[in-house]
Structure 1
Amino acid sequence: MAIEGPFWRAIAVFRLASLVYAAVLMAQHRGYEQPLIGWLVIGVMALWTAAATFAYSAEPLRRWPLLTIDLMVTMACLLTTPYVQGAQQVSMGAMPVPATWIAAPVLAWAVRHGRRAGTLSAAVVAAGELWSRSRVEEAAVLINETVLLLMAGWLVGHMVRLAKRAEERMQRAAEMEAAQRERERLARDIHDSVLQVLALVQRRGRELGGEAAELGRLAGEQEAALRELVSVGPPPPLGTIDLRSLLARHGSPSVTVSTPATPLLLPAEAAASVAAAVGAALDNVRAHCGHQARAWVLAEFLDGTVTVTVRDEGPGIPEGRLEQAAADGRMGVARSIRGRMAELGGKVSIVSVPGQGTEVEITLSA
């Protein structure tokens, strides 16, 4: 990810600064038993600093093999400390030959793989340091250095994790903004062309009557659906759908859809099932009351519950009709309405009075 770039550059600077620090410590000490081996170690550190800086600058190389080699080279340089310094210098608590350079792989693991990897690599380096300096008389010195390494691995990994999350959110925000701008552009274009044509077809169809009236009704339904589709309000959260937009597609000259001013956000699957159940109820209205029959759809949200009511002014449902239909294998209401809601844990209530119409009430917890 792009956010990792500054961290890798910071680690490269840290390696170089730590290398210089280790060389200065090596130069000022005169009591080492094997100073030539010590300078050889400094040379290895310098070569690896250059190689690691180049390797980590290429994103495809930031993988387990490079991280493992980085840790192994660091451990090798660290474990030479007792042979270079000698028992007396070790017991006095002298800084290890690589000095602070040993923290570089810990930072690399933390940046690449997060807190756990950073803490694990810190534990490995700390174990090597404890072994190489086991003769130090002041145990507090080793404990402090071990704690600092572990904290560095955990904290850097945590910081990188937070930075990556922030980058992902910024990327999503940028994509949503671009999509919103494109949606606004399409809305303008569609409003100036398609919506006006559909409105004209709807109006002329009603005026002409007959088959043209049915064509006008269909054009009106498509106009309402398309108008809702290209509306330029803020997009809902990922994985959710505003139920109002799905219900609006059922609107027509004979069907009035009333929804709240605020979004009715539901999981995508639940919203689609509710809209399909409403569609099935309206199909029943058209089938039993005629295509021109009036119907009303009312959506409400109260105390965490979404309620959608479909009401008509048809002849009503005779008592026992639904049970008889289910027994005869006609499962429209049982499956298309009640079945859908049962799968989501919702409820369906059907109230019908002969001669006074039918009311289907669908309730679902949001």
Structure 2
Amino acid sequence: MSVELPLWRALTGYRILTLGYALALFFLNYHEYAHPLGAALYMGVLTLWMLLTWNRVSAPERCTRAFLIADLTIALAGVLLSAVVDSAQRVDGGAATLPSIWTGGAVLGLAIKGGWRWAAAGSTLVAAANLVERGSAARDTVHNVVLVWVSSIAIGYIVEVARASERTLARALQIEAATRERERLARDIHDSVLQVLAMVQRRGAAIGGEAAELGRMAGEQEIALRSLVAGGLVPPQRSAEQLAEDAELVEAVTGAPRPPVGPCDLRALLAPHEGATVTFSAPGTPVLLEAAAAAELAAAVSAALDNVAKHAGAGARAWILVEDEPDGVIVTVRDDGPGIPEGRLADAEREGRMGVALSIRGRLRDLGGTAELVSVPGQGTEVELRVPRGSEKT
């Protein structure tokens, strides 16, 4: 909800209540006016104006500049008319003007709509009208004028700061959403395109001849793509219709079905990893997660096993342990490889190799979970993936 919306609603209530106060003062002092019929005519116009426009200040789109000018004009007319319809004795004694404190509503409307500059202009006009009506700069008049002037400018400034903060927050949320989408795409690229390019480069170099040239070109494209993924480029925001079209295009090109909806047994997704060098352990009962969350968790496990195959050596063994807890699911991937040297992960991210940063930690972060990596040189590496219950892909 907008920060300024409650101010508009409060202003609506202020105008209604202060009209009632002004009418009460008028009826109580009706016989003391020098020209009571003229005063009654103005109060009738003011009441009719309020009946026709009481909800114009309930929302910014209805409170136009023309309305604010008309509102302020009626307030100023009432202040100046008070010197004509009221007795000189009452004016000199500091009697309230015909619109009384209702005038403040017109100034506050300018403050909320246009900020402190509009508030300063409106309160200055009200101050001048009050001094003309009184005929002198009496102490109580100056006190009221300064109070209206300072309070309206302060409210106008607060509104401007609130609007700037809202714009900053909205921009930050847009950047965060775009960054999360970029990281998701980068994970998909890392899990598919980059690995294919790396394989082409290695196989081409091994075969030689024209294949070596193809491998060299694939290596150049891999480096360029890694730089693009790691460069932090933020794509423009896309509509829901465009995103749906993209999803259909990806499904048509890749042949990969969209993730199913509903609970999914995580064991069925992880069991195919078991083999001669991979041991899989899980509870005897189904480990249920939302399908999208289970798919992302399985992809993170695949990325961890890919790292084992690449960096732990051909003879390294890996173990997958699934733990089903009341508040979440924990999957641990451990290997007996040489471990990761200190600082190697940070270097890999700077080089654009985002396997751990995106394919593992990024996926778990999007699920509201965590990914903890513990590695001791010479003693292997352990990755603990924790996903809370009710996680859904964002």
Q: TM-score, with normalisation over the residues of structure 2?
A: 0.55
1:238 corresponds to: none
Matched to 2:170, the amino acid is Q
Map Cα deviations across residues 319-362 of structure 1 (whole Å, 9 max, x no partner).
xxxxxxxxxxxxxxxxxxxxxxxxxxxxxxxxxxxxxxxxxxxx
Counterpart in the other structure of 1:212: 211
Opposite residue 100 of structure 1, the aligned amino acid is I
Q: Which moved more, 1:180-189 or 1:159-168?
A: 180-189
- What is the CA deviation profile of residues 222-276 of structure 1, one whole-angstrom value per residue up to 9, with x for unaligned ones? 22332343349798xxxxxxxxxxxxxxxxxxxxxxxx97x99xxxxxxxxxxxx
Distance 1:11 1:45 in 2: 17
Measured against aligned partners, the alpha-carbon deviations of 1:178-232 in whole angstroms (never above 9, x if no partner) come to 1122122212222222112111111112112233323222222322332343349
SS of aligned partner of 1:80: helix
**1:271-286 mapped onto 2 (5 Å cutoff):** none
Rate the CA distance shift 1:205–1:53 in 2: closer, same or farther, 3 A.
Answer: farther
Alignment of 1:96-107 (within 5 A): 96-107=97-108
Amino acid at match of 1:52: T
Report the equivalent of 1:124: 125
What secondary structure, in the 3-state scheme, does the structure 2 residue paired with 1:55 have? coil
Match of 2:10 in 1: 10
Distance 1:107 1:73, change over 3 A: same
Aligned to 1:350: none
Is 1:222 aligned to residue 221 of structure 2? yes
Partner of 1:190 in structure 2?
Answer: 189
Distance 1:50 1:155 in 2: 29
Partners of 1:116 and 1:157 within 8 A in 2: yes
Distance 1:46 1:218 in 2: 81
For the Cα contact (< 8 Å) 1:52–1:70, is it kept in 2? no
Please tell me whether the aligned partners of residues 5 and 59 of structure 2 are also in contact (alpha carbons under 8 angstroms).
no
Cα RMSD over matched residues? 2.8
- Letter in structure 2 aligned against 1:181: R
Instruction: Report what 1:112 is aligned to.
Output: 113
Alignment of structure 1 residues 1-366 onto 2, 5 Å: 2-29=2-29, 30-57=31-58, 59-134=60-135, 139-231=138-230
Kept in 2, the 8 Å contact 1:198–1:219? The answer is yes
Describe the superposition over 1:8-47 as per-residue Cα deviations: whole angstroms up to 9, x where unpaired: 2121111111111111211222422223332332222222
**Structure 1 unmatched runs, 5+:** 236-259, 265-366
Q: Which whole-Å CA distance do the structure 2 matches of 1:81 and 1:22 have between them?
A: 13
Q: Classify the secondary structure of the residue corresponding to 1:62.
A: coil
Question: Deviation digits for residues 151-187 of structure 1, max 9, x if unmatched?
Answer: 1221011010111011112101211221122122212
Flag the 1:211–1:178 CA change in 2: closer, same or farther, 3 A: same
Which runs of no fewer than 5 residues in structure 2 stay unpaired?
235-345, 351-394
Cα separation, 2, equivalents of 1:21 and 1:232: 63
Matched residue of 1:97: which SS? coil
SS at structure 2 position matched to 1:54:
coil
Report if the CA contact (8 A) 1:7-1:111 is conserved.
yes
Cross-structure match for 1:311: none
Distance 2:57 2:217 in 1: 62
8 Å contact kept, 1:32–1:84 = yes
Structure 1 contact 205–212 (Cα < 8 Å) conserved: yes
Aligned residue pairs: how many?
238
Aligned sequence identity (%): 42
Q: Using a 3 Å threshold, how does the CA distance of structure 1 residues 220 and 129 change in structure 2: closer, same or farther? A: same
- Please say if residues 110 and 153 of structure 1, whose CA atoms lie closer than 8 Å, have aligned partners that are also in contact: yes
Q: What CA deviation, in whole Å up to 9, does each residue of 1:265-324 have, x standing for no partner?
A: xxxxxxxxxxxxxxxxxxxxxxxxxxxxxxxxxxxxxxxxxxxxxxxxxxxxxxxxxxxx
Moved more, 23-32 or 79-88: 23-32
1:214, 1:147 → 2: CA distance? Answer: 81
Q: Rate the CA distance shift 1:232–1:21 in 2: closer, same or farther, 3 A.
A: farther
**Greater RCO structure (CA 8 Å; 6+ sep):** 2
- For residue 175 of structure 1, what is the amino acid of its counterpart? Q
SS in 1 for 2:55: helix
Aligned to 1:307: none
Distance 2:221 2:64 in 1: 53
Letter in 2 for 1:18: T
Contact in 1 for aligned 2:11/2:57 (Cα 8 Å):
no
**Equivalent residue of 2:33, what SS?**
coil
Q: Does the Cα contact within 8 Å between 1:205 and 1:214 map onto a contact in 2?
A: yes
Q: Residues 47-70 of structure 1, C-alpha deviation per residue, up to 9 Å, x if partnerless?
A: 222333333345444333222112
- Length-normalised TM-score, structure 1: 0.59
Distance 1:139 1:185 in 2: 69
Q: 1:181 to 1:139 in 2, by over 3 A?
A: same
Please list the CA deviations of residues 133-160 of structure 1 after superposition, one character each: whole Å capped at 9, or x if unmatched: 215xx71111111111211221011010
- Matches of 1:37 and 1:222 in 2, distance apart? 86
